[in-house]
């Protein structure tokens, strides 16, 4: 069906705005990977200028007029047609954006750009006091942002909407407590198991250059296209999509911690596969964009954990790893290695946490963010609150701020409301994998032969190529036949760790 001139004008304007957004993305990537720290104030000015330009153009009266005209003229479009989906999401984004003053948008961009550099230095110095004034200012700004957006019950709901449309604190408050209870019970059973992995074998010295080559081989093996992407190093691993043929992933290397780089690279490559498989002809429109951060996280967690920590995966990769690191793992058996990478025990660092305790880390951050937003927790008191919650949930107390409240980059970006999407990603991933195994019953045999193409194609067809045609909860139902719940995830963990740790 042909579309109206108003829709075509809107399409042209939105694609232009996407070019500006990805230009800002290049500057953001450069800041985290290459930029000298002393340039932070200048980069903050650049980011503020671009954010202001984008906001001004997007919220202009002309944009509102085109949205109204196109919506009126495209009423006959099917609800899930390209035009209907794009208009639905553009209108939602427009209504939210126009509630924010341009001055607030620019200030958030400026402060978060500089705060990210200060976070890197504060983390390096293990000193929260250096980052504290920046966090305090960012909290003030996101509180303003929440008030501008508006909300019915909780100010945190207004921020969740940016990352997972439709998600509320009420949903999370109903979901998290029983999930935490089940995870804590399973973690206790594992701790009391006579089976004890030897984690020391994962801390043997592996030269960084060899790690990097192995990570590149791994990403390529699962389908990441290096002709349209790259792998670099950053303080906190991340993925950024800068265009249909420019997806950049990062990891970090430690010569005495092979798993740090390996699983970070696998995680980010999972994100990268999603970005590279989004329909290129729809770039710049919702039909060519990821559904939500929870769905995006489901792809990274699926490849990192449900595939990358499975025994069939290592049946293929373990011999290759031995070849890549000669002499390092010669005395290690596949079974001992597989058990070691699936150790379940409380740990301080979220990104290094096992599949069971990981979500307890997320719940901790969710609770602190809510308190910061309501003002019941002040920035200066975050280290104490963090340490208290860590001890309560995981029985551990960080020895310094770098191992505690400074370990994540998200707050320096002003990304409040982001963390819950990690747990949603785990839940989505388990349900998607359950459905994939139902459709592809020979998956394990394929993994053991190093063939990941059928799973990648299944994810591409069912999820990636859909763009934002479905909201996350509808996509989950469409793909799996079931609404999102924690059932598949807890069953997966109970089955896997029950077998590994001989838990009855």
C-alpha angle 32-34-35 in degrees, rounded to nearest 5: 80
3-state secondary structure 230-270: EEEECCCCCEEEEECCEEEEEECCCCCCHHHHHHHHHHHHH
Catalytic choice (118, 164, 268, 289): 268
Between CA 290 and CA 375 the distance in angstroms is 33
Q: What are the b/e assignments for 60-70, b being 16+ CB within 10 Å?
A: eeebeebbebb
Between CA 131 and CA 149 the distance in angstroms is 27
Nearest to 272 by CA among 111, 495, 460, 101: 460
Is 297 an active-site residue? no
Spatial neighbors of 349 by CB under 8 A, at least 6 apart, are: 403, 407
DSSP β-ladder status, 246-251 and 239-243:
antiparallel
Residue 472 token pair = 């996350």
Cβ(407)–Cβ(466) under 8 Å?
Answer: no
Cβ(357)–Cβ(344) under 8 Å?
Answer: yes
Q: What residue has token string 């996280």?
A: 297
Between CA 301 and CA 308 the distance in angstroms is 9
* Residue 110, number of CB atoms within 10 A of its CB: 21
Between CA 100 and CA 147 the distance in angstroms is 9
The catalytic site residues sit at 268
């Amino acid at each position: 069906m042909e579309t109206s001139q108003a829709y075509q004008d809107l399409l042209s304007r939105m694609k232009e705005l996407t070019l500006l957004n990805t230009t800002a993305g290049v500057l953001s990537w450069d800041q985290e990977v290459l930029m000298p720290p002393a340039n932070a104030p200048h980069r903050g000015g650049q980011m503020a200028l671009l954010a202001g330009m984008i906001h001004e153009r997007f919220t202009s009266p002309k944009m509102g007029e085109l949205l109204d005209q196109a919506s009126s003229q495209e009423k006959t479009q099917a609800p899930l047609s390209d035009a209907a989906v794009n208009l639905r999401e553009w209108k939602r984004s427009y209504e939210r954006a126009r509630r924010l003053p341009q001055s607030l948008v620019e200030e958030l961009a400026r402060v978060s750009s500089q705060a990210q550099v200060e976070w890197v230095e504060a983390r390096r110095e293990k000193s929260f006091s250096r980052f504290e004034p920046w966090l305090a200012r960012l909290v003030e700004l996101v509180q303003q942002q929440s008030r501008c957006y508006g909300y019915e019950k909780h100010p945190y709901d207004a921020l969740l909407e940016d990352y997972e449309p439709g998600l509320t604190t009420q949903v999370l408050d109903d979901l998290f407590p029983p999930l935490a209870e089940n995870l804590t019970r399973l973690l206790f059973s594992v701790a009391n198991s006579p089976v004890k992995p030897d984690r020391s074998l994962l801390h043997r010295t592996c030269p960084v250059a060899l790690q990097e080559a192995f990570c590149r081989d791994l990403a390529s093996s699962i389908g990441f296209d290096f002709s349209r992407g790259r792998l670099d190093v950053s303080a906190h691993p991340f993925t950024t999509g800068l265009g249909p043929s420019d997806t950049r992933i990062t990891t970090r290397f430690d010569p005495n911690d092979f798993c740090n780089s390996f699983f970070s690279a696998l995680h980010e490559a999972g994100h990268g596969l999603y970005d590279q498989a989004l329909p290129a002809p729809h770039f710049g429109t919702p039909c060519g964009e990821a559904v939500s951060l929870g769905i995006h996280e489901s792809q990274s967690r699926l490849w990192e954990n449900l595939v990358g920590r499975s025994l069939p995966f290592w049946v293929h990769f373990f011999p290759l790893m031995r070849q890549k690191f000669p002499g390092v793992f010669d005395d290690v058996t596949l079974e001992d290695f597989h058990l070691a990478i699936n150790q379940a025990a409380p740990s301080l660092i979220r990104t290094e946490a096992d599949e069971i305790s990981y979500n307890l880390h997320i719940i901790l951050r969710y609770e602190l963010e809510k308190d910061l937003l309501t003002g019941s927790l002040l920035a200066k008191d975050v280290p104490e609150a963090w340490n208290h919650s860590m001890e309560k949930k995981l029985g551990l107390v960080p020895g310094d701020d770098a191992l505690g409240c400074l370990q994540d980059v998200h707050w320096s970006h002003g990304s409040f409301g982001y963390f819950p999407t990690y747990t949603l990603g785990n839940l989505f991933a388990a349900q998607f994998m359950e459905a994939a195994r139902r459709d592809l019953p020979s998956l394990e045999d394929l993994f053991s032969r190093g063939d990941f193409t059928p799973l990648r194609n299944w994810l591409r067809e069912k999820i990636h190529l859909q763009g934002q045609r479905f909201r996350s909860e509808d996509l989950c139902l469409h793909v799996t036949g079931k609404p999102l719940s924690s059932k598949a995830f807890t069953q997966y963990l109970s089955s896997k760790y029950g077998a590994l740790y001989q838990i009855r």
